[in-house]
Amino acid sequence: MDTESTLQPATPLPAAEREGLYRAILTRRDTRGEFLPDPIPEAVLSRILIAAHHAPSVGFMQPWNFLVVTDTGVRRQVHEAFLKAHDEAALMFPPDKQDTYRSLKLEGILEAPVNICVTCDRQRSGPAVIGRTHIRTMDIYSSVCAVQNLWLAARAEGLGLGWVSIFDNATVQRALNIPPGVLPVAYLCLGRVRGYHPRPELETAGWLPRLPLDDLVHFDRWGNQKDPGGLLEQVRTHQQAVRDGRLDALS
């Protein structure tokens, strides 16, 4: 078979579609306190899961499973695990940040109509997996790619999504009856929301600033930030457009 004849055209997406993709990426937020109780239509949830399932994966092992959690009792167990870990975490920060930490809304486990736990089955394709022979964590990274696909699809559908990571993972594993060898990677809260914050909440709260991308780009070797062309100037132009809300400038 002529492999070349089966390839799809490698052309850019039309400008409107390209702008939509960048808009989803740049306006996606980690949603905590804006959830509405409205149910998610099955067709919408199906599309979001399809997007997640089509993430790239090492050796095409597709290590993920998606636990869709709506049961109130199960969600309360997860929420109790969060509250315990949340109290413990507050004491890990400097005294001048502890009050700010406690004031932050960091989950929507009970408010969101749907919770989804994305897992990684580390044994799915056996001990030898193409691409995982030397970096064993590539399967976990693959499940994280599924999370990102899910998140962007949720934004495209007008939904909010929040990733909860403040709890003892073993407690959540027991609450969801996840078998040994299957790792809970992400516990997500999903639902319709009152709106999206213009900027990430932690940035707005002054917890940390957005780092300038042009400070994070190196050329050929770490520490070499001498731009051989005009990339960094273009990066600065695009960064300013994003700050100004001119997302169409990216397309």
Q: What does the pLDDT read at residue 2?
A: 57
Average pLDDT, the chain: 95
> Rounded distance, CA 217 to CA 239, Å?
13
pTM given for the model: 0.94
Question: What's the mean pLDDT in 89-97?
Answer: 95
Provide CATH 3.40.109.10 ranges for the chain.
16-209
CATH number of 16-209: 3.40.109.10
**Who has greater pLDDT, 247 or 54?**
54
Q: For residue range 202-251, list pLDDT tens digits in order.
A: 999 999 999 999 999 999 999 999 999 999 999 999 999 999 988 888 87
Closest CA to 63 of 136, 6, 151: 136
Three-class DSSP category at 182: strand
Q: Is the pLDDT of residue 1 over 70?
A: no
Name residues whose C-beta falls within 8 Å of residue 181's C-beta, 6 or more positions apart in sequence.
121, 122, 123
The yes-or-no verdict on residue 39 having pLDDT over 80 is yes
pLDDT at 250: 82
Match 């997302």 to its residue by tokens: 247
**Non-local CB neighbours of 52 within 8 Å, separated by 6+ positions:** 64, 66, 118, 146, 147, 149, 150, 153
Q: Kindly report, residue by residue over 94-125, the tens digit of the pLDDT.
A: 999 999 999 999 999 999 999 999 999 999 98
